Amino acid sequence: MITSKLTSKAQTTIPALVRTALGRKAGDELVYSVEGDRVILGARGPVDDPFATFEEWSSDADQRAYGKL
Protein backbone atom coordinates (compact mmCIF):
# COMPACT_ATOMS: atom_id res chain seq x y z
CA MET A 1 0.00 0.00 0.00
CA ILE A 2 1.29 3.48 -0.89
CA THR A 3 0.72 6.24 1.68
CA SER A 4 1.16 9.98 2.05
CA LYS A 5 0.51 12.42 4.87
CA LEU A 6 -1.99 15.27 5.03
CA THR A 7 -0.52 18.62 6.07
CA SER A 8 -2.15 21.12 8.41
CA LYS A 9 -3.35 22.94 5.28
CA ALA A 10 -5.09 19.77 3.99
CA GLN A 11 -2.45 19.25 1.30
CA THR A 12 -0.63 16.09 0.30
CA THR A 13 1.91 15.00 -2.27
CA ILE A 14 0.76 12.39 -4.75
CA PRO A 15 3.51 9.75 -4.56
CA ALA A 16 5.69 9.32 -7.65
CA LEU A 17 4.49 5.75 -8.27
CA VAL A 18 0.88 6.97 -8.36
CA ARG A 19 1.71 9.90 -10.66
CA THR A 20 3.55 7.55 -12.99
CA ALA A 21 0.72 5.01 -12.99
CA LEU A 22 -1.76 7.77 -13.91
CA GLY A 23 0.62 9.35 -16.41
CA ARG A 24 0.33 12.74 -14.67
CA LYS A 25 2.77 15.64 -14.44
CA ALA A 26 2.79 19.07 -12.79
CA GLY A 27 -0.25 21.11 -13.82
CA ASP A 28 -2.39 18.12 -14.85
CA GLU A 29 -5.86 17.77 -13.34
CA LEU A 30 -6.95 14.88 -11.17
CA VAL A 31 -10.47 13.70 -10.44
CA TYR A 32 -11.80 12.34 -7.15
CA SER A 33 -14.79 10.11 -6.59
CA VAL A 34 -16.06 9.50 -3.05
CA GLU A 35 -17.65 6.08 -2.52
CA GLY A 36 -18.56 5.50 1.10
CA ASP A 37 -15.36 5.67 3.14
CA ARG A 38 -13.11 5.41 0.05
CA VAL A 39 -11.83 7.98 -2.41
CA ILE A 40 -10.94 6.95 -5.94
CA LEU A 41 -8.26 9.08 -7.57
CA GLY A 42 -8.11 9.25 -11.34
CA ALA A 43 -6.76 11.20 -14.26
CA ARG A 44 -8.97 13.60 -16.14
CA GLY A 45 -9.43 12.43 -19.71
CA PRO A 46 -8.25 14.37 -22.74
CA VAL A 47 -9.60 17.89 -22.98
CA ASP A 48 -11.49 18.76 -26.14
CA ASP A 49 -9.08 21.59 -26.88
CA PRO A 50 -7.03 21.49 -30.08
CA PHE A 51 -4.42 23.78 -28.51
CA ALA A 52 -4.01 21.80 -25.26
CA THR A 53 -0.89 20.07 -26.57
CA PHE A 54 0.91 23.37 -27.22
CA GLU A 55 2.60 23.83 -23.85
CA GLU A 56 4.34 27.00 -25.05
CA TRP A 57 0.88 28.64 -25.11
CA SER A 58 -0.02 27.75 -21.54
CA SER A 59 1.63 30.53 -19.55
CA ASP A 60 -0.26 32.49 -16.91
CA ALA A 61 -0.32 35.50 -19.24
CA ASP A 62 -1.87 33.40 -22.02
CA GLN A 63 -4.49 32.05 -19.62
CA ARG A 64 -5.42 35.57 -18.52
CA ALA A 65 -5.58 36.83 -22.09
CA TYR A 66 -7.25 33.90 -23.82
CA GLY A 67 -8.57 31.60 -21.07
CA LYS A 68 -12.22 32.55 -21.52
CA LEU A 69 -12.37 32.34 -25.31
Looking from the CA of 43 toward its CB, the CA atoms found within 13 Å total 14
Is pLDDT larger for residue 44 or for residue 1? 1
Whether pLDDT at 62 is above 90 = no
**pLDDT tens digits along 11-56:** 999 999 999 988 888 888 888 999 999 999 888 766 566 666 666 7
Distance of alpha carbon 64 from alpha carbon 8, whole angstroms: 31
